């Protein structure tokens, strides 16, 4: 499954840093008017733990209709077409980097999916900038 998430604006800016330090760290993403992304969550079916077994009755690891509903609630409703820094309370205190978007999605999916089923969240900011989050383990590709 693939979800395309459009964030109208976000500002990469840490309240812990000066304006000069923020500009040096985040570059053009520290634009005072914000910047936008079309994040892609690719291969989201891989969020299911690889060791899970196929249910012999249903023939599925998980019902895809349920998974789509969980993704809608955990990802699309809170984030799609939003200014992350202004419209999503989580990002009022957390810098809206792709890494933190992955953590936000992970936390939201963890609340909805059956325990032990979530394996990873993979967020593509661009073709070259990809974050894979596996709970406390983050991998930047």
Residues labelled catalytic: 29, 81, 125
CA trace torsion 28, 43, 53, 110 (10° rounding): 30
Beta partners for 30?
none
Six-digit token pair at 127? Answer: 């073709």
């Amino acid at each position: 499954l693939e979800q395309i998430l459009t964030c109208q604006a976000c500002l990469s800016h840490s309240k812990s840093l000066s304006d000069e330090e923020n500009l040096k760290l985040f570059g053009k993403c520290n634009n005072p008017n914000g910047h936008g992304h079309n994040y892609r969550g690719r291969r989201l079916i891989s969020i299911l733990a690889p060791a899970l077994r196929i249910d012999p009755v249903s023939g599925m690891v998980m019902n895809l209709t349920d998974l789509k509903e969980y993704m809608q609630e955990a990802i699309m409703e809170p984030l799609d077409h939003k200014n992350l820094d202004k419209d999503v309370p989580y990002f009022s205190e957390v810098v809206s980097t792709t890494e933190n978007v992955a953590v936000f999605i992970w936390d939201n999916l963890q609340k909805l999916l059956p325990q032990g089923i979530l394996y990873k969240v993979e967020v593509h900011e661009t073709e070259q900038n990809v974050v894979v989050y596996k709970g406390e383990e983050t991998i930047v590709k």
